[in-house]
């Protein structure tokens, strides 16, 4: 009778590669892992799934105002690119300006020209602008600029706006994060258009100036909140207000002022919302409330214009 051989230890294999023998366990899930599945950890090795799960559970760094930290001002780049592309489109098809500019209420005559809004439509005339249901003008006009052949301002309009957006937008985007910055920009653009509609509905305006004034106002508010050098910040704001006055001779001061006021309101909400889990909710609520207010003002003005022309 042959003596019994000692029992051989069970062979253990990698949980991801069953054909590969392994005697090392993941320090997190305790499963066997082969050399291809090992990842260095603070103590021992972990499997690829535990490393991936750990990366998801790490809290992402945030800016002082709750936004995600970004390494490149992508939104600013995209906005500049959109404005430039639209401007090139204007050069090819000048009628784009007439079709998409901010325009509240005018009469379009049989010859295609625009005429002053009247209480009653003369024969052959039709309403044009936001009053005619062209609500998109409240945003599209913020991506248009004066063509080179229009007025003394010409191509300087888009050049100055894009330079300003490049200088200020990158700073504000880094402070707010991409989503908050985009909300600030679009609400400021809408705020400028709505004030044009309220105060000068018969004026056709174009330009990103309203949005840029809003971003500039945010730069001032955020800088003060962060405790930046007040002399430099105050000089910046004084220059901004001076340009608001001087630019009225070339473009729409209503659009600039509307963007400035709206951007200031959004920036105050972003800067002074209480810290903690509710901060993002408070910031979003203020943005939605401003959006609702602007839309109500626009609807009310259009309704008044229509009733006056009835």
Strand order of the β-sheet with 126-128 is 114-115, 106-108, 126-128
Tokens of 47: 């499997």
CB 266 within 8 A of CB 284: no
Read off the pLDDT of each residue in 27-33 and give the average, rounded to a whole number: 85
Read off the pLDDT of each residue in 97-105 and give the average, rounded to a whole number: 87
Query: What pTM was estimated for this model as a whole?
Result: 0.78
CATH superfamily placement of domain 74-97+142-309: Rhomboid-like (1.20.1540.10)
Report pLDDT for 210.
92
Number of Cβ within 10 Å of residue 182's Cβ equals 16
With a cut of 80, say whether residue 306 has pLDDT above it: yes
Give burial (CB, 10 Å; 0-12/13-18/19+) of 115: middle
Report pLDDT for 123.
67
Nearest to 301 by CA among 100, 102, 108: 102
Q: What is the mean pLDDT of the chain?
A: 85
Domain ranges of the chain: 8-51, 74-97+142-309
CA–CA separation, 279 and 273 (whole Å): 6
User: What percentage of residues in the chain have a pLDDT greater than 70?
Assistant: 87
pLDDT tens for 246-265 read 777 777 889 999 999 999 99
With a cut of 80, say whether residue 175 has pLDDT above it: yes
Distances (CA, A) of 105 to 126, 217, 251, 303, 305: 10, 29, 18, 11, 8
Give burial (CB, 10 Å; 0-12/13-18/19+) of 275: exposed
With a cut of 80, say whether residue 115 has pLDDT above it: no
Read off the pLDDT of each residue in 184-210 and give the average, rounded to a whole number: 93
pLDDT tens for 129-157 read 898 899 999 999 999 988 877 655 678 88
Report pLDDT for 225.
85
Radius of gyration of the chain (CA): 29
């Amino acid at each position: 009778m042959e003596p019994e051989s000692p029992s051989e230890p069970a062979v253990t294999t990698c949980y991801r590669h069953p054909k590969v023998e392994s005697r090392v366990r993941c320090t997190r899930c305790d499963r066997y892992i082969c050399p291809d599945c090992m990842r260095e950890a603070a103590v021992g090795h972990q499997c690829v799934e535990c490393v991936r799960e750990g990366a998801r559970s790490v809290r992402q760094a945030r800016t002082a105002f709750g936004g995600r930290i970004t390494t490149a001002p992508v939104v600013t780049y995209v906005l500049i690119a959109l404005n430039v592309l639209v401007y090139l489109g204007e050069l090819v098809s000048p009628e784009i300006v007439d079709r998409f500019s901010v325009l509240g209420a005018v009469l379009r005559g049989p010859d295609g020209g625009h005429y002053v809004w009247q209480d009653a439509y003369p024969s052959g005339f039709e309403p044009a602008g936001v009053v005619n249901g062209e609500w998109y003008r409240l945003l599209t006009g913020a991506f248009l600029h004066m063509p080179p052949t229009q007025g003394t301002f010409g191509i300087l309009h888009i050049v100055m706006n894009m330079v300003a957006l490049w200088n200020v937008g990158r700073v504000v985007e880094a402070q707010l994060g991409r989503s908050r910055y985009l909300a600030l920009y679009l609400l400021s653009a809408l705020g400028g258009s709505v004030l044009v509609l309220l105060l000068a509905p018969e004026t056709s305006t174009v330009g990103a100036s309203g949005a840029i004034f809003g971003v500039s106002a945010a730069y001032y508010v955020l800088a003060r909140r962060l405790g930046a050098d007040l002399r430099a910040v105050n000089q910046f704001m004084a220059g901004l207000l001076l340009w608001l006055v001087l630019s009225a001779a070339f473009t729409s001061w209503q659009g600039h002022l509307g963007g400035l006021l709206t951007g200031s309101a959004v920036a105050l909400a972003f800067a002074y919302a209480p810290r903690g889990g509710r901060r993002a909710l408070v910031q979003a609520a203020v943005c939605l409330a401003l959006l609702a207010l602007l839309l109500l003002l626009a609807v009310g003005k259009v309704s008044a214009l229509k009733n006056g022309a009835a």
